[in-house]
Amino acid sequence: MNNAFKNLGDFIGGLTGLLMSLIGLAIVAEVAGLNIPGVAVIDSITNIIGDFAGGGFVGLVALLAVLALAKK
């Protein structure tokens, strides 16, 4: 049973790493001027951060929590 949870955790960790890499690649592509249809990563991230900032102190704490989870 522990082996199954370890394998699942490894899979989720790998998938998260892959998605973070794809987000980074999409940001670089957007900055380079390559417009991917239907993808506006920088605008989406700006909106998310704006939503966090609109919440004042609670938004700041939520943003820090999200960043802490993204670091792992």
State the Cα–Cα distance between residues 13 and 3, nearest whole angstrom.
15
Q: Are 51 and 59 in contact (CB under 8 A)?
A: yes
pLDDT digits (tens, 9 = 90+) for 3-60: 888 999 999 989 988 988 888 888 788 888 887 777 787 777 777 777 777 767 777 7
At residue 72, does pLDDT exceed 60? no
Q: Are 34 and 45 in contact (CB under 8 A)?
A: no
Q: Indicate yes or no: pTM above 0.85.
A: no
For the chain, what's the residue count? 72
Q: How far does the chain reach from its first CA to its final CA, in angstroms?
A: 24
